[in-house]
């Protein structure tokens, strides 16, 4: 599905071919290659068409998973156009994607009560930018989609811990910071109470990260959070400056905080099942999701 930004046809083709080669029956949304919705160059077609594709896919009894092809912007414009009663009646599906897809993750978690997968987009650089998908990203996505008996493990290459160094177990919530902030005050407002909050972003200067995190604190989104796991902060300025903001805004909450996990917009994008229970272990530099069921 194209719920946000305009797709590159070549990448879409490569993403479909890769999934098909693994034995998946891939159906592409009718409007996936539309452009300039509402006269806006950054939207992949009109809101009603993008929402209709998503609705049709979710309510199709043959659908097991709905993979979003890319991020960008525009997913939040669809939320009031979807028939949530019909989507509830259709039963659970696995939503997969990241970045702008955070808006959809918040909505399906709150309105449908289902887990969803914060992972690479199907027609993005890592899965469809070249002849072969990035190996760690692809293998982790496939494991997370099928949720086999093995646990999912994300390990920080150069872990940085702030706050107490103790393991905590709780459901995962969160996604891309700027999208979480944009949902504050809406029907899909995020809450980290009783949860492990996962955060990442791209292209946001340290002062903008500070603004977003301060907004979350003032809005009460971080009240009752049990732990925080941070992924990549790609193109967000000097790592030392980003870390200083995170330490100032998050390190003072008195909960375990682990930086440096390989999810988000970085060169390796591992997958996180939002809504599922996980263990954040700062001492081991790891976030571990036990086997499903």
Q: pLDDT tens-digit profile of 219-244?
A: 999 999 999 999 999 999 999 999 99
Q: What is the pTM of this model?
A: 0.96
- Residue pair 286/275 in contact (Cβ under 8 Å)? The answer is no
Q: State the Cα–Cα distance between residues 36 and 96, nearest whole angstrom.
A: 24
Label the pairing between strands 277-281 and 116-118: unpaired
What pLDDT, on the 0 to 100 scale, is given for residue 18? 96
Q: What positions carry a catalytic annotation?
A: 99, 200, 265
Q: Using 50, 70 and 90 to split pLDDT, how confident is the model at 293?
A: low
Between 239-249 and 206-219, two packed helices, what is the crossing angle to 10 degrees?
A: 10
**158 versus 103: which is more confidently predicted?**
103
pLDDT digits (tens, 9 = 90+) for 125-161: 999 999 999 999 999 999 999 876 689 999 998 889 9
Is the sign of the CA dihedral 116, 122, 124, 126 positive or negative? positive
Give the pLDDT of residue 291.
Answer: 86
Contacts of 66 (CB under 8 A, 6+ apart): 1, 54, 57, 58, 93, 94, 95, 96
Measured between alpha carbons, how far is residue 66 from residues 36, 51, 105, 149, 219 in Å?
23, 13, 12, 22, 31
Give mean pLDDT, residues 47-65: 98
pLDDT of residue 35: 96
Average pLDDT across the chain, whole number: 96
């Amino acid at each position: 599905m194209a719920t946000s930004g305009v797709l590159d046809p070549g990448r879409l083709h490569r993403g479909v071919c890769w999934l098909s080669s693994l034995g998946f029956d891939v159906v592409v949304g009718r409007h996936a290659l539309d452009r300039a919705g509402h006269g806006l160059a950054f939207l992949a077609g009109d809101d009603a068409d993008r929402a209709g594709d998503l609705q049709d896919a979710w309510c199709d009894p043959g659908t097991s998973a709905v993979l979003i092809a890319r991020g960008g912007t525009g997913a939040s414009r669809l939320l009031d156009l979807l028939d949530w009663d019909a989507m509830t009646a259709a039963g659970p599906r696995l939503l997969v994607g990241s970045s702008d897809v955070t808006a959809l993750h918040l909505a399906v978690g709150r309105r449908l009560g289902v887990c969803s997968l914060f992972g690479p987009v199907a027609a993005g650089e890592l899965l469809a930018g070249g002849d072969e998908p990035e190996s760690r990203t692809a293998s982790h996505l496939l494991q997370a989609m099928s949720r086999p008996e093995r646990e999912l493990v994300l390990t920080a290459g150069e872990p940085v811990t702030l706050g107490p160094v103790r393991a905590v177990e709780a459901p995962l919530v969160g996604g891309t910071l700027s999208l979480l902030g944009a949902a504050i005050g809406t029907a899909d407002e995020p809450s980290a109470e009783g949860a492990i909050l996962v955060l990442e972003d791209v292209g946001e200067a340290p002062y903008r990260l500070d603004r977003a995190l301060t907004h979350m604190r003032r809005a009460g989104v971080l009240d009752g959070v049990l732990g925080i796991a941070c992924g990549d902060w790609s193109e967000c300025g000097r790592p030392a400056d980003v870390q200083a903001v995170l330490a100032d805004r998050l390190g003072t909450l008195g909960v375990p905080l682990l930086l440096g996990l390989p999810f988000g917009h970085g060169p390796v994008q591992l997958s996180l099942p939002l809504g599922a229970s996980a263990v954040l272990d700062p001492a081991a530099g790891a976030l571990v999701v036990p086997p499903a069921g």
